[in-house]
Amino acid sequence: MFVDVLAYWSMPKQEKQLPAHQAQEDSVQSTAAGDAGKAAADSGSQGGDKGKSDPSASLAAWAEITSLPTGKAGGGVTGGGNQGEGQQQEQQQQQQPGEQTKEQPTAAGGGPQEGHKFVTVELRVPKVPPTFNSWVLTEDMLLFHRRALQQQLEQTYVALGLAATAGRAFVLPEFSCFCQNSEAPLPRCRRPDSHKVQFPVPCPEGEVLQPLERFADPAGAGAALRVLPHAALHSMEMEESKVLVLKPSATILWPACTEPNQQCTFESGLESGATQLVLPPSLNDTHLLPFLEKYQERYPLWRLDLSDIGSHWHAFAGWDCAEPARQFDLRLQGAARPWPAPSGGGLQPMNLTSGRVYSDEPDMKDCPGGTALRRMQAVDMQT
């Protein structure tokens, strides 16, 4: 369990919403991946889903749309399930020599190319105490920093899970640091050449996470993940009209919103030009992904907004099946860099979470293969 730190959170910038409009139900019916992609494109021109639809009923269509063969999917996790005839035809079509393949960016931060899809997150950073930069007790500064950084890492973990289950690459947010990293506690958390620095400051990613290449290393344990540095957001030059803000909201009760004449999602435009989708909190992949079907092709960048829920864990509840969650957590073991122990004594490990992980969630099904793993493996890892 985690300490409630909402009292310290800074309030995010308010964005004006246009009136939400009633969504229209999409139906994707396809036996081959080519038909599934066409259905997704057709449905994208319509409105949002009606709450009365059964999300799990369209999960198979979502899997066909997002399970894009990359030539490396065959090296997936043992027990991945057999491909259907339609999926085999899709592979053959996509592997025709006449097709042109765009150059892929590297997992460690090559420039994103057209056609790729991404997820990022708007971090909620604890507000710094007004006198923090005048503190003289290094131990107290390190204690505050480690707690603030842990909250940011856990939000990143949740957003990474959403990216993995949707088969999208993840772009790191900008972390905020309240201390500088070193092998031992620094006086007032500052290096000698930075004694005038005012916290918080942007964290160098290399001081927070291990090298990004390790997330996609085929020799690593667990399912590979494609993680890009925060700077990739700027190199994308993404128009706001191509950005979907995903906003889980505690104002929506699941599954009551699936009853007739009820609505589970609310789509609106933001002043920035982005589209916002308000949806129920605490959904796992089986229930969440069908709501996102028609937005997969329309919006290259999904930005997760955590401002309308009481805990970042309510943004995404993980996997319905145990094996994808296990593969995800295996990959993220040891991903965070250590920081000095507040009381001295050398470096102290940090983890992406302070104890809770998706692979320990109760009531997951024993389904080692299938669409959930194929979605995670669909992200192109070419370097």
pLDDT score of 76: 30
Task: Output 123 or 354, whichever has higher pLDDT.
Answer: 123
Asked, as a colleague might, if the bond just before 200 is cis with ω within 30 of 0, I would say yes
Q: Residues 254, 260, 265, CA angle at the centre, nearest 5°?
A: 45
How many percent of the chain have pLDDT more than 70? 67
DSSP structure class, residue 268: E
Please tell me the pTM assigned to this model: 0.72
Q: Say how far apart CA 293 and CA 161 lie, in whole Å.
A: 17
Q: Say how far apart CA 167 and CA 324 lie, in whole Å.
A: 12
Whole-number mean pLDDT of the chain? Answer: 77
- 52-72 pLDDT, tens digit per residue, is 444 444 444 444 444 333 333
- 153-209 pLDDT, tens digit per residue, is 999 999 999 999 999 999 999 999 999 999 999 999 999 999 899 999 999 999 999
Q: Say how far apart CA 12 and CA 340 lie, in whole Å.
A: 30
Closest CA to 28 of 236, 208, 292: 292
**Pairing state of beta strands 275-279 and 266-269?**
antiparallel
**Pairing state of beta strands 118-122 and 169-171?**
parallel
Asked if pLDDT for residue 267 goes beyond 70, the answer is: yes
Q: Say how far apart CA 186 and CA 340 lie, in whole Å.
A: 9
Asked if pLDDT for residue 90 goes beyond 90, the answer is: no
pLDDT score of 369: 62
Q: Do 162 and 119 meet the contact criterion of CB atoms below 8 Å apart? A: yes
pLDDT score of 345: 81
Q: Which residue shows structure tokens 């990359």?
A: 70
pLDDT score of 113: 53
Q: Which residues face 275 on adjacent strands?
A: 244, 269
Q: Say how far apart CA 216 and CA 327 lie, in whole Å.
A: 13
Average pLDDT over residues 280-298: 95
**Pairing state of beta strands 339-340 and 347-348?**
antiparallel
Asked if pLDDT for residue 49 goes beyond 90, the answer is: no
Average pLDDT over residues 219-242: 94
How many percent of the chain have pLDDT more than 90? 60
Asked if pLDDT for residue 11 goes beyond 90, the answer is: no
Q: Residues 360, 366, 370, CA angle at the centre, nearest 5°?
A: 110
Single-letter residue type at 185: P
Q: Do 116 and 107 meet the contact criterion of CB atoms below 8 Å apart? A: no
Single-letter residue type at 228: L
Q: Say how far apart CA 287 and CA 320 lie, in whole Å.
A: 9
| Cβ atoms within 10 Å of 231's Cβ, excluding its own | 14
Average pLDDT over residues 25-38: 40
Q: Do 15 and 273 meet the contact criterion of CB atoms below 8 Å apart? A: no
DSSP structure class, residue 17: B
Task: Output 230 or 55, whichever has higher pLDDT.
Answer: 230
Asked if pLDDT for residue 133 goes beyond 80, the answer is: yes
**Pairing state of beta strands 339-340 and 301-305?**
unpaired
Which pair of tokens denotes residue 171? 């772009």
Closest CA to 118 of 246, 278, 273, 251: 246
What is the H or E stretch that residue 100 is in?
Answer: none
User: pLDDT confidence of 370, banded at 50, 70, 90?
Assistant: low
Q: Which residues face 247 on adjacent strands?
A: 278
pLDDT score of 111: 43
Q: Do 323 and 373 meet the contact criterion of CB atoms below 8 Å apart? A: yes
User: pLDDT confidence of 223, banded at 50, 70, 90?
Assistant: very high
User: pLDDT confidence of 368, banded at 50, 70, 90?
Assistant: low
The span from the first CA to the last CA of the chain, in angstroms, equals 38
User: pLDDT confidence of 115, banded at 50, 70, 90?
Assistant: low
DSSP string, 77-116: -TT--PPPHHHHHHHHHHT-TTS--PPPPPTTTPPP-TT-
